[in-house]
């Protein structure tokens, strides 16, 4: 039973995860997914990319140093279909997507589990900062011991049936402790700067991934024309910079009006809302239509979880009511629900009121 397939990118986190699993006596195999080709996407070669030659070599060297097998698996077609195409399509519809969440739920975990089944291995593992604990006979995701590095938000879409077969070795560690372990093993990634970019947009220029969109009007909440926008896929709810208009007070994106190709802007106070609906929900607890759940919700990765009531509707849809208005609830982003440190489930923000 102590057999595990580890998703290893070559970065410091997954490299240390490999070392920790090996030290605990697991029979480890390192799996690096090649999810895209930088040339095919028209991107400059970047060592930060999860599919760069540098990181692939790092993954191989880490596995060699730990005396564990390492394989590179091509999943370019699947990643294009489930992640990159959705990324482009979401922005074209005025939504702000979470590609890392789709990768985890639709590519990384299903592919690891399928490979493990084919090879006769039981567990799968990644370098995410989160924990999995037994809660009354049910495996549940919990926030990392170090709140500053917690990545449980990105795991809400994983199939519940995968949790009992998942190991998250870094959940009890701080980033400093992880870097210290990497240095002890002389991993090349020990001092590598951390990137916050989307893996297939290493310089953060996501609009380079889009087709050209049409310029249009920037208006205030009353319809007064204030200027011109560059194309709606250049903007997201709550954005202030890059609007290209002058005003005696700061203005922010309030709404992306696709029907009229208009960008609606206003002052910060208009960004605070109390209710929204989410779709495509995934739960790690039993739920039924009509249930009301008192819990905490995160509406973006860096958002502090806030008290709310989630009402279960039909067709994987929920209605969420915050106790206090929250800033910039954004369609396309993930809403993730917690009971204390326990991840209950999540969904995709659909409409805000």
Express each pLDDT in 77-115 by its tens digit.
999 999 999 999 999 899 999 999 999 999 999 999 999
Shared-domain flag, residues 114 and 127: yes
Task: Give me the CATH number covering residue 338.
Answer: 2.40.30.10
CA-closest candidate to residue 40, choices 79, 86, 12: 79
pLDDT (0 to 100) of residue 54: 84
Q: Are strands 292-298 and 334-339 parallel, antiparallel or unpaired?
A: antiparallel
Task: Give me the CATH number covering residue 260.
Answer: 2.30.30.280
Q: How far apart are CA 217 and CA 195, in angstroms?
A: 34
CA-closest candidate to residue 321, choices 341, 346, 292, 350: 292
Q: Does the residue 204 lie in any domain?
A: no
Q: Does the residue 200 lie in any domain?
A: no
Shared-domain flag, residues 60 and 151: yes
Higher pLDDT, 38 or 130: 130
Q: Does the residue 143 lie in any domain?
A: yes
pLDDT (0 to 100) of residue 141: 98
In tens, the pLDDT along 30-68 reads 999 999 876 655 555 555 556 577 888 999 999 999 999
- Cβ contacts of residue 20 below 8 Å, gap of 6+? 169, 170, 181
Task: Give me the CATH number covering residue 107.
Answer: 3.40.50.620
CB–CB of 269/349 below 8 Å?
no
Phi, psi of 193 (to 5 degrees): -65, 145
Which stretch of DSSP H or E encloses residue 349? strand 342-352
Total domains present in the chain: 3
Q: Which residues pair with 225 in a beta bridge?
A: 219
pLDDT (0 to 100) of residue 348: 98
Q: How far apart are CA 327 and CA 83, in angstroms?
A: 27
Measure Cα distances from 233 to 46, 71, 109, 140, 223 in Å: 24, 37, 30, 36, 20
Shared-domain flag, residues 112 and 76: yes
Shared-domain flag, residues 17 and 160: yes
Q: Which of 44-48, 120-124, 257-261 has the lowest mean pLDDT?
A: 44-48
pLDDT (0 to 100) of residue 316: 94
Domain boundary (129, 162, 191) is at 191
Q: Which two tokens stand for residue 32?
A: 């690096």
Q: Does the residue 88 lie in any domain?
A: yes
Quick check: helix, strand or coil at residue 235?
coil
Handedness of CA 74, 77, 81, 87 (dihedral sign): positive
How many H-runs (helices) and E-runs (strands) does the chain carry? 7, 17
Shared-domain flag, residues 181 and 50: yes
CB–CB of 71/29 below 8 Å?
yes
pLDDT (0 to 100) of residue 205: 65
Place of tokens 């595990």: 4
CA 9 vs. chain centroid, Å, equals: 16
Q: How far apart are CA 195 and CA 348, in angstroms?
A: 25
pLDDT band with cut points at 50, 70 and 90 for residue 21 = very high
Q: How far apart are CA 219 and CA 264, in angstroms?
A: 5
Higher pLDDT, 246 or 192: 246
Shared-domain flag, residues 97 and 186: yes
What's the predicted TM-score (pTM) here? 0.93
Shared-domain flag, residues 120 and 221: no
Q: Does the residue 108 lie in any domain?
A: yes
Shared-domain flag, residues 259 and 277: no
Q: Does the residue 202 lie in any domain?
A: no
CB–CB of 238/271 below 8 Å?
yes
Q: Which residues pair with 238 in a beta bridge?
A: none
Q: Does 228 have pLDDT greater than 90? A: yes
CB–CB of 151/130 below 8 Å?
yes
Shared-domain flag, residues 40 and 138: yes
pLDDT band with cut points at 50, 70 and 90 for residue 314 = confident
pLDDT band with cut points at 50, 70 and 90 for residue 194 = confident
Q: Say what percent of the chain tops pLDDT 90.
A: 84
Burial class of residue 213, CB neighbours in 10 A (0-12, 13-18, 19+): middle
Q: Does 330 have pLDDT greater than 60? A: yes
Shared-domain flag, residues 224 and 306: no
Q: Does the residue 330 lie in any domain?
A: yes
pLDDT (0 to 100) of residue 15: 97
Q: Which residues carry out catalysis?
A: 103, 199
pLDDT band with cut points at 50, 70 and 90 for residue 213 = confident
Quick check: helix, strand or coil at residue 286?
coil
Q: How far apart are CA 40 and CA 42, in angstroms?
A: 6
Q: Which domain holds residue 221?
A: 212-266
pLDDT (0 to 100) of residue 136: 84
Per-position DSSP letters for 175-233, written without gaps between them: HHHHHHHHHHTT-GGGGPPP--SBTTBTTS-GGGGSPP---EEEE-TT--EEEEES-GG
pLDDT (0 to 100) of residue 297: 98
């Amino acid at each position: 039973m102590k057999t595990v397939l580890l998703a290893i990118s070559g970065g410091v986190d997954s490299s240390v995860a490999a070392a920790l699993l090996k030290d605990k006596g697991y029979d480890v195999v390192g799996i690096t997914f090649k999810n895209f080709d930088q040339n095919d996407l028209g991107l400059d070669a970047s060592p930060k990319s999860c599919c760069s030659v540098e990181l692939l070599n790092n993954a191989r060297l880490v596995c060699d140093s730990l005396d564990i097998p390492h394989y590179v698996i091509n999943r370019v077609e699947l990643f294009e279909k489930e992640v990159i195409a959705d990324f482009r399509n979401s922005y074209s519809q005025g939504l702000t997507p979470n590609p890392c969440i789709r990768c985890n739920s639709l590519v990384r975990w299903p592919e690891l589990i399928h490979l493990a089944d084919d090879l006769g291995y039981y567990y799968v593992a990644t370098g995410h900062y989160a924990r999995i604990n037994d809660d009354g006979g049910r495996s549940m995701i919990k926030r990392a011991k170090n709140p500053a590095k917690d990545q449980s938000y990105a795991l809400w879409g994983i199939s519940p049936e995968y949790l009992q077969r998942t190991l998250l070795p870094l959940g009890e560690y701080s980033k400093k402790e992880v870097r210290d372990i990497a240095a002890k093993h002389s991993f090349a990634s020990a001092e590598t700067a951390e990137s916050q970019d989307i893996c297939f947009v290493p310089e953060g220029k996501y609009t380079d991934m889009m087709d050209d969109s049409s310029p249009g009007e920037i208006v205030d909440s009353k319809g007064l024309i204030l200027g011109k926008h560059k194309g709606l896929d250049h903007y997201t709810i709550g954005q202030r910079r890059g609007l290209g208009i002058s005003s005696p007070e700061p203005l922010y994106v309030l709404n992306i009006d696709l029907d009229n190709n208009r960008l609606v802007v206003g002052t910060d106070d208009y960004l605070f809302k109390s209710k929204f609906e989410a779709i495509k929900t995934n739960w790690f607890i039993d739920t039924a239509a009509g249930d009301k759940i008192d819990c905490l919700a995160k509406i973006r990765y860096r958002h502090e979880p806030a008290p709310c009531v989630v009402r279960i509707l039909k067709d994987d849809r929920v209605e969420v009511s915050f106790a206090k208005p929250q800033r910039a609830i954004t369609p396309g982003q993930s809403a993730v629900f917690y009971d204390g440190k326990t991840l209950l489930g999540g969904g995709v923000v659909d409409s805000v009121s």
